[in-house]
Chain A
């Protein structure tokens, strides 16, 4: 493809977790589109830097220009001849715009609510995740500022009457979102992608919006359980993850059972290491009355090091 582009492109986005390359919908849209179109992006997660507060995410930096918002970035990539929509007819291009509008209007408010406003999800999933990825003292600031933005966006776009109250709009945004999921499911049918055999920008948008909802382990979410019942949509997400994000995945979290096994293994190794160490120290102590603290081997087993990265 067109890999000999002059300027290197750097994408700043939130990092990955839950089996996804990024937990952030908009970042995920851009990452997916880049994979679909063959654009080579240098991905630099903003996790643990001060950019968690200052940067607008996702942001594409190419030479002197910086672009924000998925739509802008996708337009830019298309102009750089990274076009995943090349084979679409004009009518399909129009459909793409319409379905993206549908996602924005019907699904986004409910997604924002699920992750940022729903108290249980926010306290157990969203806030801990974003707090742990922000450096001190931003960890106190970043999650709540995102939550405030999300809440005010929902109220301003979907709120009714001058005195907006969140409880009045909740029912409506969730029923809208469920309807939107159903419509997407009808539209996708049994196909792999929305248009033909290769993924396009609409697939990137749907994947970006739905994958976090599908993969996050949320304590309370009627929307998530609704999504998990739509087999073709979950299959669609799994397929894109498997085809486009499996090989270079930064840290694929293993399934739960394997994690337990790995932890057990690590524990055993640690215990062994300790006892070895104690034995040797004991020997050292016995052989030399003076304190000569040369530790025999700080990291005796390379296997344990490999396993300890996720922890």
Chain B
């Protein structure tokens, strides 16, 4: 769909209110979903909860192929389908729900910059560990990714995905990195986030923004997911303000509404 058409559609949808039947699709929670997809999905859920927009989570084995961009997660609202956090933020904004309206231009620039930092470092590191670390790929990523399919399709799809991610890593210059260097990058990223957060409750003081949702989605998922080694979670645990930030958002947006 072209940009103009997208803009037109989002104009049209602006008039309609948020329906009760809005659904978020992700891969199977227990057996299939991988760390990076789980983090992105949690970020979108956190964002929608912060906006106070109800959404039902649906798990589908073929969620990746249902998504218009091939990326997890995507939401279906009425007759519209939108994938990934950035477009979803724009979509909700068109409907009159926004978390970043109170920010000035400089703060908005800063928010976007930190969001790209998370995408550039944390998300890439998650992908690297999942698919380029041989132990993790063999023990966790490939079996989980292909769990809904039977042999030989399972093998074909898993190796195809791995090949795809490795090509991407080579293209951005991460192909030659060692696991240790990737952990070091994660540490640096967390250090920057921790510095930026300081002692504030949220990144932009009192009100949560989409940046808070994104950071929460990634950090919380890394902290609560078991991998072949605990090194990744350990790196985050050394920043106490990030830990309490995660706990705060979990309590405020996920615990009281879990009924």
Are the C-beta atoms of A102 and B195 separated by less than 8 Å? no
Interface positions, chain B 70-111, Cβ under 8 Å from A, are 70-71, 105-106, 108-110
A50 to chain B, nearest CB (A): 23
For the complex, give the distance between the alpha carbons of A183 and B108 in Å: 8
- Please report the C-alpha to C-alpha distance between residue A95 and residue B111 in the assembled complex, in whole angstroms: 10
Q: Is B70 within 8 A of A98, CB to CB? A: no
A187 with B110, Cβ < 8 A, contacts A94-B193, A97-B189 known: yes
Closest 6 CB pairs of A and B: A94-B192, A183-B109, A98-B113, A101-B120, A186-B105, A101-B117
The distance in angstroms between the C-alpha atoms of A207 and B164, with both chains bound, is: 33
Contact A157 B171 (CB under 8 A): yes
Complex Cα gap A128–B121 (Å): 36
Chain B interface residues (CB < 8 Å from chain A): 2-3, 68-71, 105-106, 108-110, 112-114, 116-117, 119-121, 164, 167-168, 171-173, 188-189, 191-193, 195-196, 198
Across the interface, A186 reaches (CB within 8 A) one of B2, B109, B168, B191, namely B109
Q: Does A152 contact B (CB under 8 A)?
A: yes
Binding site of B, secondary structure by majority: helix, strand, loop or mixed? helix
Chain A residues in the interface with B (C-beta under 8 A): 69, 90-91, 93-95, 97-99, 101-102, 104-106, 149, 152-153, 156-157, 160-162, 171-172, 175, 179, 183-184, 186-187, 189
B109 CB to closest chain A CB, in angstroms?
Answer: 4
Cβ contacts under 8 Å, B105 to chain A: 186
Of A94, A104, A149, A172, which is within 8 A of B196 by CB?
A94
Check A157/B109 contact, CB under 8 A, given A98-B116, A102-B116: no
Bound: A99/B110 CA distance, A: 8
Shortest CB distance B195–A (Å): 4
Taken together as a complex, chains A and B put the C-alpha atoms of A175 and B114 apart, in Å, by: 19
Q: With A95-B196, A157-B171, A162-B70 in contact, is A105–B3 under 8 Å at CB? A: no
Known contacts A95-B110, A156-B168, A162-B164; 13 further A-B pairs (Cβ under 8 A): A91-B195, A93-B192, A94-B195, A94-B196, A97-B117, A101-B120, A156-B171, A156-B172, A172-B3, A183-B109, A184-B109, A186-B106, A187-B109
Q: Is the interface of A mostly helix, strand, loop or mixed?
A: helix
Given contacts A160-B69, A186-B108, A187-B110, contact A98 B195 (CB under 8 A): no
Q: Chain B residues near A156 (CB, 8 Å)? A: 167-168, 171-172
Minimum CB distance partner of B87 in chain A: A172
Interface residue from A69, A93, A101, A189 paired with B113 (Cβ < 8 Å):
A101
**12 pairs of residues in contact across A and B, judged by CB atoms under 8 Å:** A93-B192, A94-B191, A98-B196, A102-B112, A105-B119, A156-B172, A157-B171, A160-B68, A171-B2, A175-B3, A183-B108, A186-B105
Q: How far is the CA of A171 from the CA of B7 in the complex (A)?
A: 12
Q: Are B192 and A189 in contact (CB under 8 A)?
A: no
Residues of the B chain whose Cβ atoms lie less than 8 Å from the Cβ of A94: 191-193, 195-196
Cβ-defined contact, A153 with B113, below 8 A: no
Question: Contacting A104 at CB < 8 Å: which of B108, B120, B168, B198?
Answer: B120
Taking CB atoms, residues of chain A closer than 8 Å to B171 are 149, 152-153, 156-157
A172 to B189, CA, bound (A): 26
Distance in Å from the Cβ of B70 to the closest Cβ of chain A?
4
Across the interface, B120 reaches (CB within 8 A) one of A105, A149, A184, namely: A105
- Are A98 and B114 in touch, CB under 8 angstroms? yes
Tell me, rounded to whole Å, the shortest Cβ–Cβ distance linking B101 to chain A: 16
CB neighbours (8 Å) of B110 from chain A are 95, 98, 187
- Measured in the bound complex, the distance between the Cα atoms of B106 and A160 in whole Å is 30
